[in-house]
Amino acid sequence: MPEHAAPAKRRGRPRGGSDARQRIVAAATAEFSDLGYDGATMRGIAGRAGVDAALLHHYFGTKADLFGEIVGAPMRPDLKIPEILAGPRDRIGEAILRYVLDVWEQPEARRRGILVLRSAIGNKVATPLFAGFLSRELLVRIAAGIGLPDAELRASLVATQVAGLLLARYVLRLAPLADASVDELVAWVAPTIQRYLDAPSP
């Protein structure tokens, strides 16, 4: 069936309208659930949905794009962080933290971010999927961008601090963190991220 047309945000939307789209989303969800993030392939998803793999790429982009869209990810650090890593080295901690907090300060992005975090942690099927996406699309890229010993460990340590901060401020809403300004949080926490990314290995 011919599928191209109504412009979605960045990509086309399959013509059979919401039918084809729903079929692809259902197929991708099943593929990710069955095989995990690393095991899932765009070809497999296309097969399940009964559409051509090239067409799937054309409409939904990469596996990371498709996953981000399915989980309703409010930000795509896999796209933004490499850009930040290419900037001034001594401001990376601050740049990462400001990027993340600026996104989460927007109510709609925060609402979706909380949903993603809740299901990534609260749901046993979602947990390894989310971890796979995080590792493959984000941590490995940061590690490649750092080019230091222990690069993957460093990237993962950054993830611990950022995730813990998001949880405590936006999900648990611990008062001192929920009440702090973005500037205050950056002043406290950016040096942590900076240290994980550029201090000598202990």
**CA pseudo-torsion sign 159, 163, 164, 165:** positive
* Site membership for its own copies, residue 155 (CB under 8 A): yes
Choose between 20 and 190: whose C-beta lies nearer to its own copies. Answer: 190
Query: Which residues are registered as beta bridge partners of 12?
Result: 7
Instruction: Please select the residue that binds its own copies; options are 39, 50, 87, 164, rule is CB under 8 A.
Output: 164
* Site membership for its own copies, residue 176 (CB under 8 A): yes
Q: Which one of the spans 36-44, 82-90, 104-112, 184-192 is the region binding its own copies (CB under 8 A)?
A: 184-192
CB of 13 to its own copies, least distance (A): 32
Q: Which of 79, 53, 43, 59 is CA-nearest to residue 11?
A: 59
Instruction: Please select the residue that binds its own copies; options are 9, 90, 147, 175, rule is CB under 8 A.
Output: 175
SS3 7: strand
* Site membership for its own copies, residue 6 (CB under 8 A): no
Provide the mask over 106-145, with x wherever binding to its own copies is found by CB under 8 A and - wherever it is not.
-----------xxxxxxx---xx-xx--xx---x------
* Site membership for its own copies, residue 160 (CB under 8 A): yes
CB of 77 to its own copies, least distance (A): 14
Residue type, 186: V
DSSP labels, 1-24: -----SB-SSSB--TTTHHHHHHH
Distance CA 37, CA 64 (A): 9
Distance CA 43, CA 54 (A): 8
Distance CA 129, CA 120 (A): 8
Read off the tokens for 92.
């990376």
Q: Which one of the spans 33-41, 66-74, 101-109, 157-165 is the region binding its own copies (CB under 8 A)?
A: 157-165
Buried b (16+ CB within 10 A) or exposed e, 92-125: bbbbbbbbbbebbeeeebbebbbebbebbeeeee
Instruction: Please select the residue that binds its own copies; options are 156, 194, 197, 198, rule is CB under 8 A.
Output: 156
* Site membership for its own copies, residue 177 (CB under 8 A): yes
- Which residues would be at the binding site for its own copies (CB under 8 A)? 117-123, 127-128, 130-131, 134-135, 139, 150, 152-153, 155-157, 159-165, 167-169, 171-177, 180, 184, 187-189, 191-192, 195-196, 202
